[in-house]
Amino acid sequence: MIPVIVLCTLTYLAFVFFSESVNPFARPAVSMSRHRWKYGRRMALAVLIGGLCALILLDLASMPVHNAVAFGVVVAVILGLCFSAKKIGYFLRR
C-alpha cells in the first residue's frame, strides 16, 4: 500500500512542478496556462507509467528493488523525452 501512495504523491508532484498549477482536473482559462497544464499532465502520466512498470516488475517478476526502480526511471525518462520533443526541438533551433 505504501508504494502506491508514494507513486500517487510523485505523480502529483510531477504535475505541480511541470504545470505550475495545483489542480490537475480543472482546465485553466488562460491559453498559456493551458499549455503548461497539458504539459504537466503528460509529464505526470510519464511518471505514473514508469512507476507502474517498477511496481509490476517488483510484484510479478520478483526483481530486486534497485533494478525495478532503475527500469521505471528509464521508462519515465524516455516517455518524458518523447512528450517534450517539441520543446527540445525549439530549444535546439535557437
| Dihedral of alpha carbons 26, 54, 66, 46, sign | negative
User: According to the model, what pLDDT value does residue 28 have?
Assistant: 86
Residue 17 has pLDDT above 90, yes or no: yes
- Which has more confidence, 28 or 72? 72
Residue 94 has pLDDT above 90, yes or no: no
Question: pTM here?
Answer: 0.87
User: According to the model, what pLDDT value does residue 87 have?
Assistant: 84
Residue 79 pLDDT level (bands cut at 50, 70, 90): very high
| Dihedral of alpha carbons 89, 91, 92, 94, sign | positive
Which is nearest to 45 in space by CA: 78, 19, 79, 72?
A: 79
